[in-house]
A and B are shown apart, each in its own frame.
Chain A
Amino acid sequence: MIKLDMVTKVYPDGTEAVKNVSFEIGQGELCVLLGPSGCGKTTTMKMINRLIPITGGTIYIDGVDTAKMDENALRRDIGYAIQQIGLFPNMTVGRNIETVPELKGWPENKRRQRGEELLKLMGMDSGEFIGKYPRELSGGQSQRVGVARALGGDPPILLMDEPFGAIDPITRVRLQDEFLKIQQTLKKTIIFVTHDIYEAIKLGDRIALMKEGELVQYDTPADLLYNPKNEFVENFVGADRALKGLQLIRVKDVVKASPPTVKSGEKTEIVRERMERAGINWLAVVNGDGNFLGGVGKADLGKGDSVGDVMSPSAETATANTVLNEVFSLMLSHGLDNLPIVDKDNRLQGVISFDTIRKALVELTQRGKTG
Chain B
Amino acid sequence: MASVGIRDVKKSFGATPIIHGVNIDIQDGEFVILVGPSGCGKSTLLRMIAGLENITAGDIMIGDRVVNNVPPKERDIAMVFQNYALYPHMTVADNMAFSMKLRGAPKDEIKTRVDKAAKILSLSPLLERYPRQLSGGQRQRVAMGRAIVRDPQVFLFDEPLSNLDAKLRVQMRTEIKELHQRLKTTTVYVTHDQIEAMTMADKIVVMHDGIVEQIGAPLELYDRPANLFVAGFIGSPAMNFIKGKIDGSGFHADGGFNLPIAGAPAGSSGKSAVYGLRPEAIRLDGAGLEARVHVVEPMGSETQVVADIGGQNITCVFRERIQAKPGEVIRVSPDAKLTHLFDGDSGKRMAA
A, B in one complex: no
A: which residues have CB within 8 A of B? none
B: which residues have CB within 8 A of A? none
